Chain A
């Protein structure tokens, strides 16, 4: 478990303290994929680097599995960092070393395994990320997705319990992004690894994260389960991210609906409710007519969801509303 207790961070620029992270309390449960989303400069990168103390915090306490990271001495910190893997936007592989030597590096630095044991572990790791045949290549000979796989293998070398991902897919094309995210989700399940990832893309959060925190201006402005935050965003920043991901402009949509007669509702289905034949049943039983104005049906990680904007005319509107409410569906009356 990762726990932030009133942690804050200021940068000193030209004799002045510039706050990078407002006092923050946060708990990340073990085995979770925890997403931090924010625009650049929102403080997410700072927050991530506080966990393995690549950045020292200005105040507060950070506990990782009961270890007070903020109080470790120099030697303790080096030992602690070996239990936390990290991958980066630009991969940060050593250009002068082969793929195998890059993956072996953390093991060599730790100095606990023999050469032969290191070799064995490296080939296991490369097999896991599907790069066995590239072991003797240099990073410059690999594609972006392959480089990030090397980064992941390297980060997992010392069998960490936590993996920090710093914009790990931001330099990759959409297809490669999906593959790398799948790999992260797999190792999260197989190794029960806690993953903290930062991104500026809601789609990354939607695909793999269990929980999400939205950051803005150096503070967490909204957090919770991804389904909750994604389907019912509260803060304007969150709404912006969701709309970008869905490519919807809500204000434009409202204008379009101005000419549509009747009442307008937004229904949100989640899990099994997504597949229930609710609309037809309610229409039959209450005599309302419906037309679908907008909608999407997709997955958030493994949870199916649907979100439909409907115009209802005729029949018994109040009864229809009650039936929807009772049917395990979240209802918002837009008009």
Chain B
């Protein structure tokens, strides 16, 4: 009994409601930012692929420009991006705090990353498939929707999984600028107030989240792989 009491006593600082709210915030930030990241990143990835060297719509200037923007955003440390984005975020959502304030920097941080992964996944599609679809008289639109995206689907799901997990770690960082969520809890209570129990619980919850994302992602990849 004493041991159990002592064990429970260790978790004295853990407030179940706070943890629940923080988990919900993290899930909302993750869901919202993943949605917009895919919405913007998928077309950007397709554009990068098609305008790239030796591709169907090779446009050196456009590709160089897109590439530069993507590289700049990817080389910027996320913590800096969070701060630089504040005025733009306020303009977009009316606040730089909370879940709504976190989503724009998360999306801007993750979209270039996801777009590059999509570009790579599309490059993995056999050129012969594109040629065969062209020979059938497919338009560019048809090539994208009937051949390229279905063929690259496992790769795109893998890219989505990696991006979602990256977003989880980004949401933790977003706690620094007042985004809320599990990361914020870990920083404010676990780190700044030396509440090791809070730190432990939040980290374990983040770990569980990452595990779930990875295994769901892996299942989707396997489900859509026909090779």
Contacts and interface: CB of A to CB of B under 8 A. Distances in A.
B136 A106 contact: yes
A81 B136 contact: yes
B224 interface: yes
B13 interface: no
Contacts of B139: 78
B129 interface: yes
A82 B137 contact: yes
Report the contact-size class of chain A (Cβ under 8 Å from the partner). Answer: 20 to 34
Nearest to B153: A96
A86 interface: yes
Contacts of A77: 137
B150 interface: yes
A54 B134 contact: yes
A88 B224 contact: no
User: Main secondary structure on chain B at its contact with chain A?
Assistant: helix
A136 interface: no
B199 to A, nearest CB: 44
B135 interface: yes
Nearest to B138: A109
Contacts of A109: 133, 136-138, 142, 146
A97 interface: yes
User: Main secondary structure on chain A at its contact with chain B?
Assistant: mixed
A245 interface: no
A88 B129 CA distance: 10
A322 interface: no
A67 interface: no
A94 B128 contact: no
30 contacts: A54-B131, A54-B134, A81-B134, A81-B135, A81-B137, A85-B135, A88-B131, A88-B132, A90-B126, A90-B128, A92-B128, A92-B131, A94-B129, A94-B147, A94-B150, A95-B151, A96-B150, A96-B151, A96-B226, A97-B150, A105-B133, A105-B146, A109-B133, A109-B137, A109-B138, A109-B142, A109-B146, A140-B226, A154-B136, A164-B135
Interface of B: 126, 128-129, 131-139, 142, 146-147, 150-151, 153, 224, 226-227
Given A77-B137, A95-B151, 15 more contacts: A52-B135, A78-B137, A78-B138, A79-B137, A80-B137, A81-B136, A88-B128, A92-B126, A92-B128, A96-B153, A96-B224, A108-B146, A109-B136, A109-B137, A139-B226
